[in-house]
């Protein structure tokens, strides 16, 4: 059953990237992240009460709270870096780097969670790594060189924090319902995101957000909420070293929708890279 949740997470995560790209076109990325988090928070707490998971609040222990908070902080940092990278670069360039967090997560899962390294996992890591390199190896025009370096920096930071998020989140939801764990983590992300917005004094820009951006930011928040709920439900029952790669198949959805709605095209190398990433993930599932 956790495999179905993992694929559900991939679907909604893929939609998130494209919807967010449209939503932050004319909006500061940090402010957009903070707004989206409000939507995710409302959505996640509604789900907590729908499934009756609020009763688990009385059973929270110190270890669970600590790891959920740390996971939330890592998520917030990953989000801020990811959507800054999306604002500066193409979805088809940013998404593959973000998905490379799969490799780092698998390594961390072996170190901290005791998950074994098998031949299949090793082959999958190599394929995913090669695929990622092919997808990000592009030749920017001279007038976009500075911009390219900027999005790459933020995308790499997003990978580091995203990997930590999965491991910390896995530990944090061991003894509680995954929906409740997601809702608690979202509170941390919300505080962090809005703290940065107010620290940079960008809250005044809210009045400048147009209706189209509002619509796509809200839709992106809903897609993120759905992805998180599926992801942490899968992570609670399944091994992190397999759940995470399945979740990263969202890149297929992202590439497809970015082509349809954003007119972003893949070159031959990028397409081969995408096939390698998918092949590596399928090997893990098999």
At 174 the pLDDT is: 87
pLDDT at 278: 86
Give phi and psi for 76, each to the nearest 5: -60, -45
Residues of the chain with pLDDT under 70: 99, 136-149
pLDDT at 148: 52
Query: What is the C-alpha to C-alpha distance for residues 234 and 11, in angstroms, rounded to an integer?
Result: 14
Model pLDDT, residue 35: 94
Amino acid 142: pLDDT: 43
pLDDT in the model for residue 73? 95
Q: Which of 108, 216, 115 is nearest to 168 (CA)?
A: 108
For 50, left (φ over 0), alpha (ψ -120 to 50), or beta? alpha
DSSP code at position 266: -
């Amino acid at each position: 059953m956790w495999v179905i949740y993992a694929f559900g997470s991939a679907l909604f995560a893929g939609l998130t990237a494209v919807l967010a790209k449209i939503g932050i076109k004319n909006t500061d990325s940090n402010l957009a992240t903070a707004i989206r988090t409000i939507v995710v928070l409302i959505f996640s707490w509604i789900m907590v009460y729908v499934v009756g998971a609020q009763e688990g609040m009385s059973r929270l222990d110190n270890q669970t709270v600590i790891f959920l908070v740390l996971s939330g902080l890592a998520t917030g940092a990953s989000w801020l870096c990811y959507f800054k990278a999306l604002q500066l670069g193409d979805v088809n360039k940013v998404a593959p780097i973000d998905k490379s967090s799969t490799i780092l997560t698998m390594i961390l899962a072996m170190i901290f969670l005791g998950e074994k390294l098998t031949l299949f996992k090793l082959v999958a890591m190599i394929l995913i790594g090669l695929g990622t390199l092919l997808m990000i190896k592009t030749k920017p025009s001279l007038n976009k060189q500075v911009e390219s370096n900027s999005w790459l920096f933020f995308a790499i930071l997003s990978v580091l924090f995203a990997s930590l998020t999965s491991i910390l989140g896995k530990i944090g939801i061991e003894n509680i319902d995954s929906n409740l764990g997601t809702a608690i983590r979202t509170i941390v992300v919300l505080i962090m995101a809005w703290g940065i917005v107010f620290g940079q004094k960008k809250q005044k820009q809210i009045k400048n957000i147009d209706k189209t951006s509002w619509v796509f930011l809200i839709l992106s928040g809903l897609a993120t909420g759905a992805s998180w709920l599926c992801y942490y439900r899968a992570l609670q029952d399944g091994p992190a070293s397999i759940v995470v790669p399945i979740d990263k198949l969202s890149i297929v959805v992202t590439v497809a929708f970015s082509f349809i709605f954003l007119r972003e095209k893949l070159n031959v190398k990028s397409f081969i890279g995408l096939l390698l990433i998918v092949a590596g993930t399928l090997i893990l599932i098999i």
